[in-house]
Structure 1
Amino acid sequence: MNKEGVTIIQDSKFNEVLMSVKVLITLKKETVTLANVYTQLLGDRSIQYPTKKAMTQAMDLMYGLKFGSRSYSVGKHQVIELTLKGINEKFVDLSLHQSYLDFMKEVFMNPLINENTVKEAIKVVRQNMKRSQESPNTYAIYKAFELAGKDQSFGINMLGYEDDLNLISVADVAAFHQEILKEASTLFYMIGEVEPLAVDFSRPIDSTSVTKTHIESIFEFETHNAPQSELIQVYETDIHPHHPLYYPYLIFLAILGQSASSYLFQNIREKNSLSYSIYASQLIYDSLFYISTSIAPENETIVLDLIKAQFKLIAEDTLDLNSAKQYVINRIEATSESASQSLGFEFRNHTLNLNDKPSDVVASFEKVTEAEVKAVLDHIKDPFTFVYRGQNNEEN
């Protein structure tokens, strides 16, 4: 990334060109819903392309250009991302890459903000909220994070809040847009067989996205009308991406619950048939990981006991370190075969203040020892537990 916040990855193996603008703002409960509405509005219409038809025609003229927007969080930041994918200009006699950049700039700098576009964006955000509530597992994960991370970035619901959604006005969105243009870190990425282009709307990131989250070891539950329960456990650790045990920590998580040979999968799902699915996932920006599983309500206690037992087994067993290493290394090596994953890897570097190459990460994994993996256990605190209990639980 240069000092203006621009990253160009020249790679001839990709026939398509991928461009991405990633806007980083401080993740706040007060603005997360507004930012989601703004994200939905971006790319829908612009001043130059004031109708959906005009937008579609513009993309069709660029050989079926694909464009999208989304919002998500990385630690203390909310990311508003615009992504554009099109064919390489070497296949046609046109300056397509500059046209792509011009289109991206127009959409980002000049979105059409009026009563109709804001109303439509609010409708989409509301539908996304509703869909999450209709999925028990999705609802349980968001609820667990909200309860475990109360008053912290981690606890902010990235889908937004209904009460705030009802209050958003055209003036709010317009003011938010101006604030983005004036202050927000705006990173620009391009990958493919490309030459550098002059980007005049980027702004470099001014801090890493890493934050520290504190989790209380307590138990919470809600009931719902369903035949199964969703169980979420959130674990705090002091291991962050610059910690000496970071790579052993990632190997530990693979061994615990990230593959078909993991302890959680084998000992809870396969051997005992106690869960429909079970896995462990890390949140690297927050120094957390969580375990998620779907179970029969009557199996809640035994599953909680078995999850706890897996940590003890990892401490005592001779670990299949080679399989775990190969699992994570395969995922890293696959990064270079995907344009979007390659850009994601660079974004990871920038938001974590790292300068890694995939080969560096692979080398770090290869050096991990069993003793280091077991040492990770001393850095994990007791979890926060949330159960979204099915109604046929005997305790209801």
Structure 2
Amino acid sequence: MNYLVSRLANGVTVATATMPQMESVSLGIWVGVGGRHEPAPICGISHFIEHMLFKGTKRRNSAEISQAVEGIGGYLNAFTSEESTCYFAKASADHFETVLDVLVDMFLNPLFSVTDIEKERGVIKEELAMYLDQPQHHVQELLSETLWPGQPLGRSLTGTTKSLDRIARKSILQYKGQRYVGRNTIVAAAGRCEHADVVRHVERMLGKLERGVTPRFVAARNDHRGPRLTLQKKETEQTHLAMGFHSCSRLSPRRFTLKLLSVVLGENMSSRLFQVIREKHGLAYSIHTSTSYYADAGAFLISAGLDRKQLPKLIRLVIAELARIAQRPPGESELRRAKDYAIGQMKLSLESTTNQMMWIGEHLLGYGEIHDPQQIIRQVETVTPEDLSREARDLFLNRNLNLALIGPIEDRKVVEPLLRLP
């Protein structure tokens, strides 16, 4: 893939991946601001602003924003993460200018009417309540609180009822004005498009955006001194488990080894944990591992849902598998399968114009450059079986163990003695 990058005089970055065989184009406006940039009293404001940009501009009301894209067969969406916010759309490449115009209009000209702010405050509170009613989602937030207690990375992206009540129009205007600036903005396009055309249109529409400065955030801390357990009693059919270990930042070369460690342990049906927990013992319908990375931190994650009576057995089996891979490297054939899976999944993902657009935005914000997939493949191929065991030994330590649970559990003393790695 040929990625091209240009920077406008005001700092806006424009990047494209031309895919001439596609009928579609995916466009995204990325801003380098998210949950970890927020002051604690108004946590959730990045996500609140994301919602508000859909509520109307000086040119279009809320319905007209949706109709402008859906009326040409496209779709429009957005998301907020810990370190970024993205507004994106996909449509036929014939309607590229229309889609870009809608996204830029939302980005530059939101009304932020007091009436809409109050209405959306209620909507987001319902979203917050919805997540609290989904233990498989909420347990991940509890794990983040356990990994990074009292820190921005440990807070919910949605905010809290109290913080949402503190977010006023003045704070929205100030927060957006300081962060939605040229040096902190990326326009990414992938599909049937030409780089020069994209740059020309973005220059015309965003060329006068204030240059501004890139916002800072508080560095993440890891001061663990033993296993940490967060337990929330709730009358659910299942007990939901999320286990996490502090790992490395996205900038560390360790991430390639961690990815393969995750594949071997729990990213698919042939993984070790799936085979042991589900296929051999029948303890859970789903058990999964994953990795998450930030500018200066990261985590290795394990999640499952099961009958509370089986929780002690599951924890013992999971810890045994973590210890096993730390003590004995996987065979060459198992590692080969993991590499082929990771590489194959990446290749399949990048057939999509939307995923190519996501790749561009995530890489430019996270690394300052776009890594060619072939670079990633070469890094993955260098990992050895011994690398996986070495990483597991460094990662799976008692002092680095974090566990969050939601379910009908009466006493944490039932769980605490189990949190011991050999």
Q: Which TM-score bucket, shorter chain as reference? A: 0.7 to 0.9
Find the counterpart in structure 2 of residue 387 from structure 1. 405
Q: How does 1:259-274 map to 2 (within 5 A)?
A: 259-274=268-283
1:2 aligns with 2:2: no
Q: Return the match for 2:235 from 221, 225, 229.
A: 225
Q: Does 1:188 align with 2:192?
A: no
Q: Deviations over 1:344-395 (max 9, x none)?
A: 2222322332542112212222232111111112320331112223258898
In structure 2, what is the Cα distance between the partners aligned to 1:69 and 1:243? 28
Q: Which residue of 2 aligns with 1:82?
A: 87
Asked whether 1:310 is paired with 2:336, we answer no
CA contact under 8 A between 2:32 and 2:185: conserved in structure 1? yes
Q: Which residue of 2 aligns with 1:67?
A: 76
Instruction: Single out whichever of 149-158 and 385-394 deviates more from structure 2.
Output: 385-394
Runs (5+) with no aligned partner, structure 1: 90-95
Deviations 1:105-144 (A, max 9, x none): 2111001211222123212211110111111111111112
CA displacement at 1:329 relative to structure 2: 1.0
Partner Cα distance (2:181, 2:377) in 1: 39
Structure 2 vs 1, CA of residues 182 and 362 (structure 1 numbering), >3 Å: closer, same or farther? closer
Q: Cα 1:355–1:170, aligned 2, differ >3 Å: closer, same or farther?
A: closer
> Quick one: percent identity of the two aligned structures?
17
Partners of 2:342 and 2:146 lie apart in 1 by 30
Partner Cα separation in structure 1 for residue 237 and residue 101 of structure 2? 52
Give the whole-Å Cα distance in 1 for the aligned partners of 2:63 and 2:289.
44
Q: 1:11 aligns with which of 4, 9, 19?
A: 19
C-alpha separation in 2, matches of 1:118 and 1:233: 37
Residue in structure 2 matched with residue 378 of structure 1 by the alignment: 393
Shift of 1:30: 3.7
Residue type matched to 1:85 in 2?
A: K
- Pick from 346, 354, 365 the counterpart of residue 340 of structure 1: 354
Aligned length in residues: 383
1:361 counterpart = 2:376: yes
SS in 2 for 1:166: helix
Partner of 2:419: none
Give the alignment partner of residue 214 of structure 1, picking from 199, 213, 222. Answer: 222
SS at match of 1:144: helix
Task: Classify the secondary structure of the residue corresponding to 2:55.
Answer: coil
Which letter maps to 2:349?
T
Q: Is the 8 A contact 1:40 1:124 kept in 2?
A: no
Match of 1:119 in 2: 118
Amino acid at match of 1:312: A
Q: CA deviation at 1:289?
A: 1.2
User: Once the 2 structures are TM-superposed, how far is the Cα of residue 207 of structure 1 from its aligned partner?
Assistant: 8.8
Q: Residue 132 of structure 1 contacts residue 139 of structure 1 at CA under 8 Å; is this kept in 2?
A: yes
- CA, structure 1 residues 211+179, in 2 after alignment: closer, same or farther (shift >3 Å)? closer
The Cα offsets for residues 48-102 of structure 1, whole Å up to 9 and x where unpaired, read as 11x33433454466x24422222122xxx2x22111222122xxxxxx4333322
Q: Distance in 2 between matches of 1:64 and 1:296?
A: 44
- Structure 1 pair 85–205 and aligned structure 2 pair: CA distance change class (3 A): farther
Counterparts in 2 of 1:187 and 1:45: CA distance versus 1, 3 Å: same
Q: 1:282 aligns with which of 249, 269, 291?
A: 291
Supply the distance in 1 between the matched residues of 2:230 and 2:328 (Cα, whole angstroms): 30
Instruction: Report what 1:92 is aligned to.
Output: none
8 Å CA contact 1:23–1:186 kept in 2: the answer is yes
Paired residue for 1:331, among 331, 335, 345? 345
Q: 1:296 aligns with which of 290, 307, 312?
A: 307
Structure 1 counterpart of 2:30, from 22, 40, 59: 22
**Contact 2:148 / 2:220 at 8 angstroms: preserved in 1?**
no
The CA deviation at 1:278 is: 1.0
Residues 84/299 of structure 1: CA separation in 2 closer, same or farther (3 Å cut): same
Question: Normalised by the size of structure 2, how large is the TM-score?
Answer: 0.83
- Tell me which amino acid in the other structure corresponds to 2:265: L
- CA distance in structure 1 between the aligned counterparts of 2:299 and 2:67, rounded to whole angstroms: 45
Is residue 43–residue 108 contact of structure 1 (8 Å, CA) maintained in 2? no
Q: CA deviation at 1:326?
A: 1.4
For residues 288-334 of structure 1, what are the alpha-carbon distances to aligned partners after superposition, in whole Å with 9 as ceiling and x for unaligned? 11111112112222211111100222232643112111111111111
Distance 1:327 1:65, change over 3 A: closer
Q: 1:179-224 deviations in whole A, cap 9, x for unaligned? A: 3344771111111221233324376995999965526322231211
Change beyond 3 A, Cα 1:59–1:275: closer
Q: Structure 1 pair 359/335, CA: closer, same or farther in 2 (3 Å)?
A: farther
Query: Partners in 1 of 2:68 and 2:335 — Cα distance?
Result: 52
Q: Distance in 1 between matches of 2:220 and 2:65?
A: 42
Question: Is the CA contact (8 Å cut-off) linking 2:42 and 2:166 kept in structure 1?
Answer: no
Are 1:213 and 1:236, in contact at CA under 8 Å, matched by a contact in 2?
A: no
Cα deviation for residue 240 of structure 1 reads 3.6
Q: Which letter maps to 1:265? A: F
RMSD of Structure 2 on Structure 1 (CA):
2.7
Which residue identity does 2:229 align to in structure 1? F
Q: Distance in 1 between matches of 2:213 and 2:170?
A: 27
Contact 2:147 2:246 in 1 (8 A): no
8 Å contact 1:335–1:345 — kept in the other structure? Answer: no
